[in-house]
Amino acid sequence: MGKAKNPRRVADNEAIAVSRMLRTSPQKLNLVAAMIRGKPVEKAIADLTFSKKRIAEDVLKTLQSAIANAENNHGLDVDELIVAEAWVGKNLTMKRGRPRARGRYGKILKPFAQVTIKVRQVEEQA
C-alpha cells in the first residue's frame, strides 16, 4: 500500500509556476508582475517580450512554465488562459561591503526575490 495522493493546491481550472532566487529586488520585480496581472496569456507574453526591464525575461520564463504546466499536467486549453495572479516575495539578501573614508564601512545589500504566477482557464466571451 502506497501513500494517498496529495490533493491539488489550486483549483481544477488553474496551474501555477514559481521562480526562486531571482537576482533583483522584490520592489522592481513587482513592477513587472503588476504589468501582466489579469491579462490573457498571449497579451502578457507580448508585454514581457518587448519590456525594457531586465527581469522581464525571467518572468517570461516563469509564465511559459505555468502555461506548459496547465497544458501538459492539467489538460487546460492554452487559448483560454489568463494570468489570474502574479505575486512577488522576498528571498535571501547577500550582504557585501566596501571600505569608506575615515575607517568606516559601507554596507551593500544584494536582494533576491521570487515570483509565483497562477494561470486560470476562463471561457471565451463572444
% residues pLDDT > 90 (the chain): 88
Query: Model's pTM, two decimal places?
Result: 0.90
The string of pLDDT tens digits covering residues 72-116 is 999 999 999 999 999 999 999 999 999 999 999 999 999 999 999
Q: Which pLDDT does position 125 carry in this prediction?
A: 62
pLDDT at 7: 86
pLDDT above 80 for 124: no
Residue whose C-alpha is closest to residue 83's, from 117, 55, 56: 117
- Give residue 105's Cα distance to chain centre: 35
The domain spans of the chain are 14-121
Domain spanning 14-121: CATH 3.30.70.1140: no
* Contacts of 57 by beta carbon, 8 Å cutoff, 6+ apart: 48
